[in-house]
Chain A
Amino acid sequence: MSLSISLAINGRQHDVALNDPRVTLLDLLRERLDLPGTKKGCDRGQCGACTVLVDGRRINSCLALAASMDGAEITTIEGLAEGDELHPVQAAFIEHDAFQCGYCTPGQIMSAVGLIKEGMAGDDPERVRELMSGNICRCGAYQGITEAVLEAGRKAAENAQPQTGNPDTGKDAA
């Protein structure tokens, strides 16, 4: 059974003929489209290493059937930087030492980009940790990851509304 799907990946159109519907979005990216930046950790939705954006939303590409993604816009870690200029989340990860071995990092960064777009964490480290809990880091770089996500989130908020000096702090009364 052969199936043709078309995907826009990092702004480029791909028409792919799938000779087997079993292929996941993760395997398609890594094995067929030469985009190995997205990592395979558990392959079962339990680690977040495979996080990509589908139509702007973060999901686990290991639990997405490629065939079911037909027509979607996909963003992977390879699509974030503009030429030599890093995406602000990538820059924040370097700035805050948010990784050690780096295996979880593409997934962490894609997840953080999704989190900032969702706009639910504000400037609250507890909310950032909770909403990043779908990304496991075996090296335990969580402290740096949280700081990087907070900083990138702050910058995104400033850029979105440069005139107000009053972003939602998102803090609970404690």
Chain B
Amino acid sequence: MKPFDYIRPATLAEAVTEAARPGSAYLAGGTNMLDLMKVGAAAPERLVDITRLPGLDAVEWLPDGGVRIGALVRNSDLAYDARFAASFPMVAEALLSGASAQLRNAATVGGNLMQRTRCAYFQDPASACNRRESGSGCDARDGENRMHAVLGFTEHCIAVHASDFCVPLVALGAEVEVESSDGKRTIPIDELHLLPGDTPQMETALRRGELITGVKLPAGAAAFSGHARYLKLRERTSYAFAVVSAAAALQIEDGRIAEARIALGGVAAKPWRAAEAEASLVGIEPSQPAFARAGEIALASAHPSGANAFKIELARRIVTRVLTRALEGTPERMPALPGSPFAARPDKTSGVAHV
């Protein structure tokens, strides 16, 4: 690890000023930052520890029924907040499907949003990687790329964003509140993560020194609470990143779909909202063929970026399946295996039997 200066500002004003200096990076839970520093993929000169900043660790209910989640709320605390989980069940399910209990206890809301790609070449300073070092090339294109993108990629970078949490957030139209010494602004989460284009080194819309202070969910997002699920396909049942994942939420009125939300994870450099697939469901009676068609539409522009054509078909099926689960209704209790296709289902026989 490269030597660095460690500072722990007591106020937000001090933090954003320090972070605006070139070479600075924020440290929250550290579960991604320290990992990357150990392997040399990140080498900040100055770490600005934000964990003691006041006022960023609360879940606040707004008068209009929306909610504001402070950037320092730990992933586990948010997922286990009873009112939050009841209002936004697929967000809680996505959080609990991510990483491990230990990591969720340390990981913060802001850190989860800002986590970097898991592309192996990004993490290996000996490899060419346009995202880590602009113009150096992309070793993933002819390398190990079965987990890489099938949507929104370019020849410059084929990496995916790995967060589970961000997938239901983008489906529900969350907003990200940021602050710097220039003031505050709000970014729709759909615009926080950037597609690579020919500048994959620009990963997010944050400007230098900008701090995420919170994430807001609009009041209307809770109207989906009765029919909202997250489904995540992994290479093992738990403690693994998504191969593909999807969040789906429905509002059913008089037997018809009044509103639909669909987003995919593990398919692009950002959490992927499938707006056209959503629109295809509005006003119709829910049915398997309609859900399958939504899956087709969601992946219509997908193509393989390497040895990963299988992800396209998987993603179609995961969209169909998560819509089916959402229609069945949000389970009263969080499934034993959150987000898992193998979780036992209420009033069905168990998804899988363990010995």
Contact = CB atoms under 8 A, between A and B. Distances in A.
B344 A133 contact: no
Interface in B69-124: 76, 80, 99-103, 105-106
B342 to A, nearest CB: 10
Contact of B105 (A21, A44, A58): A58
Interface size class of A (residues with CB under 8 A): 35 or more
Interface stretch (A30-38, A78-86, A113-121, A152-160): A113-121
Contact of B337 (A1, A21, A58, A130): A130
Interface residues of B, number: 40
A111 B3 contact: no
B31 A60 contact: yes
A126 B39 CA distance: 34
Given A132-B101, A135-B100, 17 more contacts: A21-B5, A57-B76, A58-B102, A60-B103, A63-B31, A63-B103, A63-B106, A64-B34, A65-B49, A68-B27, A126-B337, A126-B344, A126-B354, A129-B354, A134-B100, A134-B101, A174-B350
B34 A20 contact: no
A48 B349 contact: no
A45 B31 contact: yes
A101 to B, nearest CB: 20
Nearest to A128: B336
Nearest to B79: A120
A27 B333 CA distance: 40
Interface of B: 1, 3-6, 8, 27, 29-31, 34-35, 38-39, 47, 49, 51, 76, 80, 99-103, 105-106, 237-239, 333, 335-338, 344, 346-347, 349-350, 354
Contact of B239 (A20, A24, A67, A134): A134
Main secondary structure of the interface of B (DSSP, over half): loop
B101 A58 contact: yes
Contacts of B100: 48, 133-135
A22 B239 contact: no
Contact of A115 (B6, B101, B336): B101
A59 interface: yes
Interface in A94-129: 111, 114-115, 118, 120, 124-127, 129
B27 A134 contact: no
Contacts of B99: 45, 134
Nearest to A67: B6
A21 B336 contact: no
A173 B347 contact: yes
5 contacts: A22-B4, A59-B106, A68-B49, A114-B105, A173-B347
A59 B239 CA distance: 14
Given A133-B100, A134-B100, A63 B239 contact: no
B102 A111 contact: yes
Contacts of A51: 102
A151 interface: no
Nearest to B350: A174
Given A65-B30, A68-B49, A130 B102 contact: no
